[in-house]
Structure 1
Amino acid sequence: MLQPDYSQFPAELHDLLKQQLTRLEDHHELIAAALDDALLPELYQVLIGSDFVTEQLQRRPEFLTELTARNALTEPYTAATYRALIQDATQTLSSAEALMPVLRRLRQQEQIRLIWRDLTRRADMASTTQELSWMADAFIDVTLEHLYRFHCERFGTPHGPADEQGERQPQRMVVIGMGKLGANELNLSSDIDLMFCFPENGETVGGRKCLANQDFFIRLGQKLIQTLDTLNGEGFVFRVDMRLRPFGSASPLAISFAAMEHYYQDQGRDWERYAMIKARIVAGDQEKGAELLKELRPFVYRKYIDFSAFESLRDMKEMINREVRRKGLEDNVKLGSGGIREVEFIAQAFQLIRGGRDLRLQQRELRNILPLLPETVGMPEHAVTELLDAYTFLRNTEHAIQALADKQTQELPQDELGRARLAFVMGFSDWQAFVNELDAQRDAVRRHFADVIAPAEESTGDEASTNNWLTVWTDELSDEEGAAVMAEQGFDDPARAFKLINDLKHSRTVQMLQQTGLERLKAVLPQLLEQISAVDNATETLSRVLTLVQAVLRRSAYLVLLAENPAAIQQLIKLCSSSVWFADQLAKKPVLLDELIDPRTLYTPPDKAQLEAELRQQLLRIPQEDTEQLMEALRYFKSAHMLRVAASDITGVLPLMKVSDYLTWLAEAILKSVLEIAWGLMVEKHGRPLKSAGTPSELDFIVVGYGKLGGIELSYGSDLDLVFIHDCDPNLFTDGEKSIANSVFFTRLGQRIIHILNTFTAGGQLYEVDMRLRPSGNSGLLVSSLSAFEEYQHKEAWTWEHQALVRARVVAGPSQLAEDFEAVRARVLAKTRELPALQQAVVEMREKMREHLGTSEHEAQSEGLFHLKQDQGGIVDIEFLVQYQVLAHAISYPSLYRYSDNIRILDACEGEGLLSAAEAEQLREAYKAYRATGHRLSLQEQSSVIKEAEMRELRDQVRTIWQRVMQTSH
């Protein structure tokens, strides 16, 4: 029997140890025989720290005998040791299916060894992370060698194109390790971030079936992932994440060196520079891989000193901070404040800034970089020492957390037993002693991170002013006394202002607040009132801001955010004063308060490329299969950026046209990501649709935007008019195990896209989608092939459908299919048409719309009202004029259909002489004025109906031009 000396362990862990030993009672003799007197006490220590080890020994007690027979618990391994172990275990195997159980058994045994040595401190943190990385390298490379051989036997060996001597060289795959694997810093339960590539395009030679090199390596990569990642009764080898590859989940699994170099040269983003610091060839053709990384080095390390890296890393860290706050990850030792990620950011900031000039900084391992910083960038020696100590402590804590159940988590335990186990493993007498040390280490990281990357914002305040405002809150003032105080402070409606504060004070929510929440409210209220009193519409602004305060009272961390960021309060008051829409958005989604902290980002919305890169980076951190979390991330992203655009709009930083541009770019970035997500989910379930017999489709599907989206004219509340088109044979099938007809695949793909966009979640609705402009409207197929779409447009479409096509353009999907669509659009718009019939159809449709949607005759005449969009001389008149000109004259003037937005089409009409310069200018000015007013009304949550006198001159000009161009005899 195993008989521990329980006096060596904390009393609260005695029952746990007894339970673990009871689970192993059938194997006590075997285990005791395997361990000498020095190792037995370590066994009890490991059983306390790891349910995973207990479970594995319960299933396979012989693991210990095998490990001790080769002194594996007491001696370190080298990279060669791991490789030899895996090669010996797999050398006689002849199929991928046979590999899987052997690899898993070996991984579980070696995981026991690594956890044992880490928890007993036979191995320090650096040794553990290095050995884990060596083990991963060996598993990937040996498995790849076997699978490459199996695939060559079936498909032939891939070769590149012929060289000058006419010879073709065989090709092997290159596997790039990213993240912690690339940096030789894997933790005890890491997934592995990989990218697959190959030297050159070509085809296989000598197999039963010839394949293009890319197809061969995609299949090889898929099988490698399946062999390592699949979870079965034996567990898994490593969880594999491929989302860091160029273009993410929507791209081919393996690409050529040329494609990879082209991507990073033309499309690479700042966050990808950060990621590529750690890139390392972990398997496959090491020589060719080294050549590739050398070619990519200029993308990562700039020749000049690049201080913009500070800003990029600061932005990345702020995004992580928002995620931490949103998900409540403060107890996460990796992502939380003062955590592992901040230490990494400090090192990598200086690598990105100076690595191009100082080659010593071009290393992957953080533990190698930090000691260089005193000499290379002047960081104090004591700061580096503190950071290294903190990093070691935090990584040891991370390992202790993960050793418990072999799960990838960095969250501190919340239960008493879990805390006692962690404190014991970390060498502390109790939880409080551990927490004290953890807090000290995190404080050190937080301080140094603030010094390097994120200088803390200093708060200012006037004590006398604070006390004055608190009087309104704390003293029992009569209505008259309260109103008098508010009048002294400059409120335009002092009685209402005091009532608003008094109502909040006596509300049930405030009465039920805990003391902490009340203190936080009292800390921020004087700052809010001081800023509000300075605006012109102070009382209305107070009403809007207190609605927000009411919304966040039970989540008072938001009050702390405001109290500690005076600049955020300043922006809040300025924007809420200007827009009730802005105030309502914040009240509905208080998490957006984060966006107010930095005015630089608040008033400088990112451009289209930056939007796409930022969204992609956020989605990369979410498991591909977690659709719910992906949907929430998309909704937050949209709300945050719409808020930024509104802030710039309200303050006049952005003109109308730019506001619509940004809102349209935002929708496009989201649609591209939604298409990638939906495509990935469908392909995972059903395989890829066949474009033609034997040729899988990469992504032959486009999303076409109509209306305001197509015309680059989105507003704040716009829905999306969409049409879905594919370019595969609808009669073929997908190539997956659950194969379905292409037509069914694309219909379900369209349904999934709509579901992601339309569904209401905790974060609201992403966009309302209108599909009525597809061929045959609501009675037609949800998704059409391009050829069917063209046939419908030529043979069945109504005039109004051709009008709609004027404002159509591809907003997501592959460029080749987009070009094909544009060619179809051009052919349809440039058809020969009978002008009288066309004119009559356009006018009749316009009159029908005006009758149903415009203001009534009574409203127009007696109340002098004008509907900006639908009434005579309004927005739709201009749009119909433009569409008529395109349909009537595109056959002669191709410039008319080059663009889909009204302003540039009006420019083309002027250029071709269809409108005089004066008429074109009048229409442009009216269109912009109407839309600017519409934007302003949206921000005030008012309808598009205004007093006719405000726009009378512009309206008369539009009506005059309409009558000249569209006069008819019917």
Structure 2
Amino acid sequence: MDRAPVNRASLDRPWTDRAWPAPADPRGAALLREDVAELWREHGLDAALLRAAGVAPLLDMLGGNSPYLAGLARRDPVPFARLLAEGPDRAMGAVLDSLAALSPRDARADIAATMRAAKRQAALAIALADIGGVWTLEQVTLALSRLAESALEAAVRHLLRVAHDTGQIVLPDPRHPARGSGFVVLAMGKLGARELNYSSDIDLIVLYDPACHAGHEDLRRIFVRMTSDLVGLMEARDADGYVFRTDLRLRPDPSATPPAISFPAAITYYESLGQTWERAAMTKARPVAGDVTAGRRFLRAIAPFVWRRHLDFAVIDDLHDMKARIDRHRNAGHAGLSRLGERMVHDPRLARDWLMGHDLKLGQGGIREVEFVAQALQLVWGGRRPELRDPTTLGALRRLVRAGVLNRPRGDSLARTYRMLRRAEHRLQMQADHQTHKLPATREAFDAFAVFMAEENGRALAGTMLPIMRDSRRIFEGQFAEPGGAGRSVDPDAEDLAEHLRAAGFADADIADAVSLLQRWSGNRLRALRSDRARNLLRRLLPEILARFGARRDPLTCLRRFDAMLARQWAGVQFLTLLDRNPALIDRIATILDGSPFLADHLAETPAALDGLLGADQDGAADIPAAGLVRQHLAQAASTEQVLPILRGLVRGEEFRLSCARLEHRIGVDAASRARTELADAVMRGLLARVTAEHVRRYGRVPGGAMAVVALGKAGSREMMLGSDLDLMLVFDHPDDVTDSVVDAPAPGRSYNGAGDGGADGGLAPRSVPAGQYFVRLAHGFIGALTAPGPEGPLYEVDMRLRPSGSKGPVALSLGAFRRYHAESAWTWERMALTRARVVAGPPALVRALRGAIGAALDGRRGATRAAILEDARAMRERVARELPPQGPWDIRHRAGGLMDVEFIAQALQLVAGDAAARDPNTRKALRRLVRQGMLDRGTGRMLEEADRAWRSVQSMLRILFGTALPADPAAAMPAATREILLREMGATTIAEALQQMEARADAVRAAFTRLVGPVGE
């Protein structure tokens, strides 16, 4: 056991020297002292132990408060003496060692006796560590959980070995029966979370994988019998007691399924019939005995059922309904804890009377309410944010607070309540080893319990507990209450719809169309509104929806686009609950529907994009960087094929989130560009590692060889915007004397049959290939992963035409070939493109070598004079102007004096400088370096920097408003709200003023281009 923090000043004192609770029953305390003294004499134990500091009060506490613990001390005096002498850490270690020492081939009676003795000795050690404050709550519950796990492991090993020895099943490794057996015990509930309570049942689901015993016709009967034997070993009472009561009712459909269920049957159930409470239960599931590897495989298979990729606030209502049913069925607690007055809460006598008989687990302000808050928020957000997943209640609360999902005062209050109630729950159960959660119902018993809790009397205990429980209840009600309350609602089929619309701000000319649309919602034509719950939610939300839309420039357009969104929803309850739980979301949706035709269409076509509007703070930054989520998803996925759909959704969601933040002017173009580029970098790094690992399984490895990814263009300069593709170059290297890949021999006991491999090779035996072919295939695999199509499109479009020899060259080239090409054959425009090269993925040694090769290709003028470089750049710009003429003043990139002119100036001058001190892949940073190196005067440099930012700002906003396919005349196609957004971005009041600003900026840039590079013929 991990030890709790120890006061260094107390190290020389016996561990028993603590402030033990006084005995509520002095007679019981005296009897235990007498009995222990007699037992000490009978067994020849060291009498000095009983005279050690704190032992007498400890015995009084046991005898005067807990008949169960006093009985354990009497039953096993020798282990009790060791506990007093050595402390609970060593006692618990000895208990776990006794279970680990059991052999699977030991007699069942011996195994049962050892397990029961372990339970008795651990129960006393853990109780004293808890009562004396030697261990924290987490250490106490972990010790109880480890005891249960160790007992289950010993029992399952024995049962599997017996089944093997009697010829019922064949195990791959009889010396380690669990390995490869396919039989696994999942711990659920508190055991799954390693937070078992003192007298807890253990909730289990027993599963088996038929694939581990192919062709076996009687597997179900064998594993069902084995499960029955397991339950008997754990909970049957005999002269030695029992180990743990066992509950199998959390398995799928327990009234209709056997105690042990096959993987396929369980997976099918969860995918088709699984309910919210089962999702909540599965957040704590953990394989603890048997084939743990198979158990993890099962949990990965059902992870999409538990952790939904899209936000699902309807789960909050489902858990609230579950708690309400518990309250009605159990009649748990008294009504109105959150509304108790201050006099009731702070009057110790009234507080005690209120608490008597109260259920600490299921009652108001109880343990279950704290657990529900943590589980609900995890289920809502945990699918998108794996870092929130923690099976423990206290751990989940910490993670939710750290992520900003739950504010710190509420999180601290819930954690304080949980710790207090778990401590009280343990004391209740220690009294008689009963699985009880109810406080004593009489004043005498309540006062006695308070003494066990180290309080003076019941009134003092109640005065401490009730205010804390009330605060917790208020948090629970605030989390699960209906946000809309019982206020005003609008029925879509009401006759006064026109008045509601007019009052909301809809123009008279739009009323008839709006009424017709709203009345369509009252029928059953929309799939999303066919349930009573969905229609009731809509009635409650409609006043707010109409008010928000009515405040926009074009309310009817907002309503029509919202109708298109609603029509696409499969589950109207989830969508409308999302709005109900997040009223500010309605306003954000209205901004999109009113201002951006492109984003409005995307929202209608992709309802899950709504997730991108949640969880952003005021400056538009995500609660956790999307790049971090990429790494987490890649770490958890079993294969590239499995992770690609998740990454596509994540990339699309981040694109939408950043676009919305830009639309609302909560984030600038530079911050958005960096965020997009960081996300792309994380995807490329993660996929390169994953694809390479799968490639190695298929083709072996090239000793000393590796491949790296170079980003060019906007990805290289960290200036990506909506719709940016990835300009890439792939470079590999390997020692000259290595010509082929090397296939490693399979590990002992394993063949290349694909079992458990999970790779893209489908289990084929690895085969050696020539080194060059090896890396070309690896490159194709990497590019294929980036561009593989899905319902939401590929991860990224990839352009590789900037690599040496363009589309005619190999998809991946060697480092030596790269060096030779740029030393002998590269065109000026290729070297200009290389100024924005950035190595984003690959092993460190190759990354360093490649950066050096890029620097060498750009250093000096490579035989070209300044005049030749500038003439090549001028001619290239003139050719682009001739072949891709600008489509008007809003063609920001191609227009004269536009973004391309700025970039050409920066790139050409970097080549002229031929010095690393003058270079940077980012255009603005490069311009600053060129000023410092004397290649640009300060005024021109500042003007070009401002032009670069302004052009990118306008171009990125136009893409957000209209998409990458810009209309020929965007100004003519702009609705009023769209025009206002664009003008705000440009700092202008009218389109005419904006055009004048653009013309002046373009003239200044083109003049600088002519002066610095050369004239461009129109």
Q: Could you state the TM-score of these two structures normalised by the residue count of structure 1? A: 0.56
Question: 1: distance between equivalents of 2:595 and 2:607?
Answer: 18
Distance 1:122 1:490, change over 3 A: same
Query: How many correspondences in the alignment?
Result: 623
CA distance in 1 between partners of 2:573 and 2:417 (Å) = 44
Verify: 1:535 aligned to 2:556, yes or no: no
Provide the residue aligned with 1:747 in structure 2.
Answer: 776
CA contact (8 A) 2:504 2:550 kept: yes
Distance change >3 Å, CA 733–CA 934, structure 1 → 2: same
Report the Cα offset of residue 520 of structure 1.
4.0
Cα distance, 1:499 vs structure 2: 4.9
Question: 1:708-765: per-residue Cα shift (whole Å, max 9, x none)?
Answer: 0001100011111111112224623133451333323322222222222212213432
Tell me whether 1:662 sits opposite 2:675 in the alignment: yes
Q: Which amino acid aligns with 2:115?
A: P
Identify if the C-alpha distance between structure 1 residues 65 and 321 changes in structure 2 by more than 3 Å, giving closer, same or farther: closer
- Shift of the alpha carbon at 1:342? 5.7
Q: Provide closer, same or farther for how the CA distance between residues 185 and 126 of structure 1 changes in structure 2, counting only shifts above 3 A.
A: farther
Q: Does 1:677 align with 2:708?
A: no
Displacement of 1:928: 1.0
Partner of 1:466: 489
1:456 aligns with 2:464: no
State the distance in 1 between where 2:850 and 2:804 align. 14
Q: Give the whole-Å Cα distance in 2 for the aligned partners of 1:930 and 1:109.
A: 61
The equivalent of 2:617 in structure 1 is: 600
Q: Aligned equivalents of 1:85 and 1:556: distance in 2?
A: 47
Letter paired with 1:619: L
The answer for the alignment partner of 1:703 in structure 2 is 709
For the 8 Å contact 2:528–2:570, the answer to whether it is kept is no
Distance (Å, rounded) in 1 between the aligned partners of 2:538 and 2:384: 19
Cα distance in structure 2, aligned partners of 1:962 and 1:373:
64
Deviation for aligned residue 1:855 = 2.7
Please say if 1:76 is aligned against 2:99: no
Is the contact between residue 695 and residue 778 of structure 2 (CA under 8 Å) also seen in structure 1? yes
Give the Cα separation in 2 of the matches to 1:790 and 1:809.
16
Aligned partner of residue 709 in structure 2, secondary structure = strand
Q: Which of 886, 897, 907 pairs up with 1:855?
A: 886
Distance verdict in 2 for CA 1:538–1:593, change over 3 Å: same
Amino acid at match of 1:343: T
Pairwise CA distance, 1:670: 1.5
* Matched AA of 1:867: D
Spell out the pairing of 1:11-410 with structure 2 (5 A cutoff): 72=111, 76=115, 101-103=173-175, 105=177, 108=181, 115-120=227-232, 122-123=234-235, 186-188=287-289, 191=292, 321-322=380-381, 341=391, 343=393, 345-346=395-396, 378=420, 381=423
Judged with a 3 Å threshold, the aligned counterparts in structure 2 of structure 1 residues 867 and 512 are, in CA distance, closer, same or farther, namely closer
**Equivalents in 2 of 1:447, 1:941: separation in Å?**
52
Shift of 1:603: 2.6
Show structure 2 runs of 5+ residues with no match. 1-102, 119-149, 162-169, 185-222, 237-241, 247-280, 301-371, 404-411, 436-468, 746-765, 972-994
Partner SS, residue 729 of structure 2 = strand
Do the aligned partners of residues 812 and 326 (structure 1) sit closer, same or farther apart at CA in structure 2, a change above 3 Å counting? closer
Which residue of structure 1 aligns with residue 978 of structure 2? Answer: none
- Specify the alignment match of 2:506 in structure 1: 491
Structure 2 Cα separation of the partners of residues 447 and 736 of structure 1: 64
Look up the SS of the partner of 2:553 in the other structure.
coil
Larger displacement relative to structure 2 (954-963 or 671-680):
671-680
Q: Tell me which amino acid in the other structure corresponds to 1:683.
A: V
Q: CA deviation at 1:128?
A: 9.9
Question: Could you tell me how far 1:953 is from its partner in structure 2?
Answer: 0.3
Deviation at 1:619, TM superposition (A): 3.4
| CA offsets 1:530-582 (integer angstroms, 9 cap, x no match) | 22222334333333332222211545422222223323333333444443343
Partner amino acid, structure 1, of 2:773: V
Once the two structures are superposed, residues 665-703 of structure 1 have per-residue CA deviations (whole angstroms, 9 ceiling, x without a partner) of 111112122112212222233333211xxxxx5xx3221
After superposition, the Cα gap between the structure-2 partners of 1:716 and 1:792, relative to the gap in structure 1 and judged at 3 Å, is same
How far did residue 650 of structure 1 move? 2.2
Aligned-partner residue type, residue 845 of structure 1: M
Q: Is the 8 A contact 2:374 2:393 kept in 1?
A: no
Shift of 1:894: 2.6
Spell out the pairing of 1:892-931 with structure 2 (5 A cutoff).
893-897=915-919, 899-931=920-952
SS state at 1:491 partner: coil
**How far apart in 1 are the matches of 2:428 and 2:877?**
73
Q: Distance in 1 between matches of 2:871 and 2:897?
A: 18
Percent identity, please.
22
* 1:685/1:519 CA distance change after superposition, 3 Å: farther
Secondary structure of the structure 2 residue equivalent to 1:867: coil
Normalised TM-score (structure 2): 0.53
2:661 corresponds in structure 1 to 648
Aligned to 2:739: 731
The amino acid of 2:871's aligned partner reads Q
Q: Taking structure 1 as reference, are residues 453 and 465 closer, same or farther at Cα in structure 2, changes over 3 Å only?
A: closer
For the structure 1 residues 903 and 454, does the alpha-carbon distance in structure 2 shift closer, same or farther, using more than 3 Å as the test?
Answer: farther
CA spacing shift, 1:499–1:755, aligned 2, 3 Å: farther
Higher CA-based Rg: 2
- Equivalent position SS for 2:288: coil
SS in 2 for 1:187: strand
Return the alpha-carbon distance in structure 1 between the equivalents of residues 784 and 561 of structure 2. 33
RMSD of the alignment, in Å? 4.9
AA matched with 1:779: K
1:83 Cα deviation after fit? 13
**What code does the residue aligned with 1:187 have?**
V
Displacement of 1:834: 2.3
CA spacing shift, 1:316–1:82, aligned 2, 3 Å: closer
Contact 1:73–1:117 (Cα < 8 Å) also in 2? no
Name the CA distance, whole Å, in 2 between partners of 1:650 and 1:515. 36
Matched, 1:582 2:599: yes
1:957 aligns with 2:991: no
**Map of 1:10 onto structure 2:** none
Structure 2 counterpart of 1:880, one-letter code:
F
How much does 1:186 deviate?
Answer: 4.2
CA contact (8 A) 2:860 2:913 kept: no
**Partner Cα separation in structure 2 for residue 558 and residue 452 of structure 1:** 24
Aligned residue for 1:914, secondary structure, equals coil
8 Å CA contact 1:638–1:766 kept in 2: the answer is yes
Letter in 2 for 1:951: M
Q: Retained in 1: the 8 A contact 2:183–2:291? A: no
Q: For 2:786 and 2:908, how far apart are their aligned partners in 1?
A: 32
Alpha-carbon offset, residue 840 of structure 1: 2.5
1:162 paired residue number: none
Amino acid at match of 2:1001: L
Matched, 1:797 2:820: no
1:568 maps to: 585
CA distance in 2, matches of 1:447, 1:813: 56
Aligned-pair distance for 1:929?
A: 1.0
The match for 1:550 is 567
Shift of 1:618: 3.2
Residues 450, 578 of structure 1: alpha-carbon distance in 2 compared, 3 angstrom cutoff: farther
Distance 1:75 1:615, change over 3 A: same
Secondary structure, in 3 states, of the residue corresponding to 1:722? strand
Instruction: State the SS of the aligned residue for 2:718.
Output: coil
TM-superposed deviation, 1:889: 1.6
Corresponding position: 1:615 with 2:687: no
Residue 858 of structure 2 is aligned to residue 837 of structure 1: no
Q: Distance in 2 between matches of 1:341 and 1:187?
A: 14
Where 1:101 maps in the other structure, the secondary structure is: coil
Unaligned runs of at least 5 residues, structure 1: 1-63, 90-97, 130-179, 193-228, 230-235, 242-312, 328-334, 354-369, 394-445, 692-696
- Per-residue deviation, 1:661: 0.9
User: Is 1:686 equivalent to 2:699 in the alignment?
Assistant: yes
- Deviation for aligned residue 1:815: 3.0
Kindly indicate whether the alpha-carbon contact (under 8 Å) linking 1:104 and 1:237 is maintained by their aligned counterparts in 2.
no
Q: Residues of 2 paired with 1:376 and 1:561: CA distance? A: 28
